[in-house]
Structure 1
Amino acid sequence: MIKPEILAPAGSLEKLKIAIDFGADAVYIGGGKLNLRAFSDNFTNDEMAEGVKYCHDRGKKLYVTMNVFPRNFDLKGVEEYILSLVELGIDAIIVADPAIIVAAKEVAPNLEIHLSTQANTVNWKAAKFWHEQGIKRIVLARELTFNEINVIKENLPEECELEAFVHGSMCIAYSGRCLISNYMLGRDANKGICSNACRYKYYLVEETRPGEYYPVVEDDKGTYIMNSKDLCMIKHIPELMKSGIYSFKIEGRMKSEFYVASVVKAYREAVDSYMADPENYEFKEEWLDTLSRISHRKYHTGFFMGKSGEQTYDVSSYVRDYEIVGVVQSYDDETKIATILQKNRVYDGDELDVLRAHTPNFNVKLEEMFDVEKKVPATVANRAHMIFKAKVETPLKEKDMLVKCKKGLEL
């Protein structure tokens, strides 16, 4: 059995390190050009070099997205940019357009190329065609079922890898090819600046009755709204393992550090548990509990199970019951004092959950808080990135994330 790759998003250098620390086998990032997340903290060359080193020192990989659909003017400097990525030591580029594939083959023939989900690969002949053009890995369209994926895998050479999204936001448009944002706000989804207009709350207005708004609803025949649930396949690890998918991809380059750590941790533990003993594998509710704490929309299995019309619903709001309030910088075993970087408001006496890589979650209590900058005792850490100390009876480690339930608490 081939152990699949867990591929995590990294919208910043800090998130890259968190993803690797929590168990990702590889990360995908955006550089300075031609990626579909214009609003994320895309990497400078210096940050990319540090990220490559951080990954390679730990036996992990780093991929760079170049997955826009470029116009003629976008192609200026593409060859030079690709060569700069090669010099930095990246492991592969993720592309959607033949122009970038051609440019990469011309100037960097040994560079590994992955075909983005934006290319809408939904059948085995298309996958085989792309492989014959020099594509090492096909990132499948999100709209495929397990049965369709199995057929694709059966008709491809062994060396052609398949990658599929297993967790994160879904798009109402076919593999993200959407014009709504561009039409309404002039922000092109295919250039990385999507406004997520599909998430807005819509009403119908009949042209002769201005001011009379009719809610868009769902009936027993299906849904007529555009907002998608979030994909979550944590309960279906055995099916994923048997599908022929080599890389389990997590969506979310614009998501938080808390999101990256939690999702990678859950899928890492689930995959490792299955690999250790496939015959006696059992799903653990703690994995879903970890995923339920991050900001998310209602979860769904997407198209994998062949059920259409169930991935959309009439509520666009996120579930945000938990938040990260601090990251441990150090812990003194003798005094039991933790030094903590504040992320959100936290009070002296708060009971918190600890999110740690490769470790079951556990609870701690903060006591005797102390403001390091002002050098005075503190009842609350309420300044952005405030450094404070607190007595914690249970030993902590550097990089532990402290998580707080927001329900019923003053924020």
Structure 2
Amino acid sequence: MSEVIREVLKEIPVPKMVRIRQKFDGTKLEDPIAELNKELQKPGAIDQIKPGQQVAIAVGSRGVANLAELTKATVDAIKAAGAHPYIVPSMGSHGSATAEGQAEVLHHLGVHEQSMGCPIRSSMEVVQIDELPNGLPVYVDKIASTADAIVVINRVKPHTAFRGRIESGIMKMIAIGLGKQRGAEVTHQLGFKYMAENVPAMANKMMAKLPIVFGVAVVENAFDETCIVEVLPTAQVEEREMELLEIAKARLPKILFNQIDVLVIDYIGKNISGDGMDPNITGRYPTPYATGGPDVSKMVVLDVTKESKGNANGVGTADFTTQRLIDKMDKPGTFMNGLTSTVCAPTKLSTYLENDLLAIKAAVKTCNILDYNTCRLVRIKDTLHLGEIEISVNLLEEAKQHPDIEILSEPYDWAFDSEGNLQK
């Protein structure tokens, strides 16, 4: 690291911090698996599975709460119906767009042959089954295309790059997840401006042509806990997903400060968000087709999760990062996200510094305030965990006035280790 940079940042202050608790609606299911088992027994659910059938279960790459348990319950119910389930990784280009990589992503989420008691059949090979009126081909995983029945599991939530009646959920899992890298690529080909049209259009074509019998739709509360599990027969998927999306938006956690000078994020990763960190939380969107969240002047990301396997998509959305993250970065896997989605800004390298301390100081220096000692700084672990966060003392009075914020500590200085990294 250049001594010139060290010298420039030498006198930049790091503010004292306070730990707070943000209060959100914590309503959750006490037993999500029992709820799913009940849902599976309703008409139009497991009764559509016939003895002897080969049933493909589409499972994605997101860190959905209770994903392994929900998947295992679905596997067990299909077995109890006398059919033969197998799991198909359904995650577009994730896992470096390789069959082995996608199976490994599921393994890190607890979904593997030993835990599920059924085969994992991973392939990037697809077949074209239709075409949209605008000329976009419709692809599906070749292995899933040979199944007698298909079941899709996914969380319903706001998308990170566009707004529409259908965003991220069962229909996106069908169109992009089951479409594998090729399907994800063509869905994104005309840009996010048209995603709100193309995702449901492709999903409807696929539901019409493929034996997709139902979806397991999950909604989470602000604490990353399961609050709704519903089994949606194919004919109900589109209408009910629109309703669940509105519920998910209302449950979305947020940072309870409208203006932030510096936002520090400990971890980004594909298991957290498709964009590494959820723009709905940070206010930093990769496209102009989605808005919302706080006004953040400068943003720092410190590390990438182990589960992300080096995919640092989203690092380019930040202003600063660390040498540590860059060293862990799987550049081909990260760049594949941009090549597939056609949105390359999140896969760029943001300005990187030797350690956490210098990256944070760089953000403070460039956050466009007259007195660095007044910096409004917020630190979060990641965009999934916003219950307890840290704020600088300059936000303390505002926090005390907020009815949904509890002050948990006295002001303190951050502890950095001998290498200049935050002690976690």
Say yes or no: TM over 0.5. no
TM-score (norm 1): 0.30
Higher helix share goes to which structure?
A: 2
Higher RCO by CA contacts (8 Å cutoff, separation 6 or greater): 2
TM-score (norm 2): 0.29
